Structure 1
Amino acid sequence: MNRLALLVAGTAVLAVSTITPAGAAALPTGSTETVTSCGYSGLQAGLNTRVCAEVTGTTVEFYGTVGLAGPPSPGGPWPDPKELITTLSTEVVGGVALSTRTSQVIFTASTLQLRGPASTVPCGSTVRATFAAASYPRPAQPVVHEVTIAC
């Protein structure tokens, strides 16, 4: 298999695995401390992206991260800054959309964290977040994470 075919096959597997979550993270019952969980990472715009959740009681706050996909080559230059358009959307599964936040940011080399608003949801709810990052000419390939609020 040539390198291009291997790259295309690997990208397709990664895209499917990041869009289809393995299952919602179950959080401890009655917890009043903040519990953080993250979904699978994925490549978007040539960068490593991930969406995470911080849950305290029945309040959940999602955030997306953007970082380098790997270290720069030894002795090579740092990557050029990239203009990114990011979108973080949250919803109660089978219910209402909670928020959508779109931002235009410049990625230089340091990991960025893009936060959404905190939302209070009913006990037993499963909340899903989708995080996308696009940079011309590369379209977004969103990553997804779900959490279930146990009480």
Structure 2
Amino acid sequence: MSRTALLATATAGLVLLGAAPATAAQTPTTPATIVTCGPSALQAGLSTKVCAAVTGTNVQLYGQISLAGPPSPGSTLPVKDLITTLSGGVVGGASLGAQTQTVRFQSTTTQVRGVSGTAPCGSTVHAEFAVSAFSSPPSGPAVLNVPVTC
């Protein structure tokens, strides 16, 4: 075979390889989780806020309790028994649920979880987190409105 014929055969083979369909396996992508927290609220002398972790149409709500500021030097850190209520729902739609539970706060940031569900793409989820101590009346809850953008 001459060099020209060999070169033509090799070129034709490369053209055929380029025309072959791609067969790479496609793996499904998992949507990113977006965590959004509302502004802090002062309840039972503690800093509280409510957050939502949104992954696609799945929404998980949680409340967070922490000290409202640094403790005074030499003071003992607070231990409080609290009553918490976490609730949420799709604005103009279904409830994601509500949960009331007793929590012992011992000066470290504490999360309260337990309310989750699905919300349609384009909707807004409204969440509330209320905290009260056994010896003090409840004050306004921490609130959050978060869009489900999918």
* TM-score for the superposition, normalised by structure 1: 0.75
Question: How far has the Cα of 1:78 moved from its partner?
Answer: 1.7
CA shift, 1:76, in A, is 2.1
**Which consecutive aligned stretches of 4+ in structure 1 deviate over 4 angstroms post-superposition?**
none
Q: Partner of 1:10 in structure 2?
A: none
Structure 2 unaligned regions, length at least 5: 1-29
SS at match of 2:115: coil
Alignment of 1:37-56 (within 5 A): 37-56=36-55
Q: Equivalent of 2:91, from 93, 100, 103? A: 93
Question: What is the letter of the counterpart of residue 124 of structure 2?
Answer: T
Asked if 1 retains the 8 angstrom alpha-carbon contact of 2:96 and 2:118, the reply is no
Q: Give the alignment's TM-score, normalised by structure 2.
A: 0.76
What does 1:70-149 align with in structure 2 at a 5 Å threshold? Answer: 70-79=69-78, 81-135=79-133, 136-149=135-148
The equivalent residue for 2:60 is 61
For the 8 Å contact 2:88–2:128, the answer to whether it is kept is yes
Determine the C-alpha separation between the residues in 1 that align with 2:31 and 2:67: 34
Asked if the contact 2:41/2:47 (under 8 Å) is kept, the reply is yes
| Rg comparison, structure with higher value | 2
Q: Name the SS of the counterpart of 2:75 in structure 1.
A: coil
Structure 1 residue 118 displacement after superposition: 2.5
For structure 1, the 5+ residue unaligned runs are: 1-30
Percent of residue pairs identical: 52
Number of residue equivalences: 121
Larger RCO, structures 1/2 (Cα 8 Å, 6+ apart) = 1
Deviations 1:86-144 (A, max 9, x none): 00011110122220010101111111100133211111111110000011223132010
Residue 64 of structure 2: SS of its match in structure 1?
strand
Aligned residue for 1:110, secondary structure, equals coil
What do you get for the CA RMSD once the two structures are aligned? Answer: 1.6
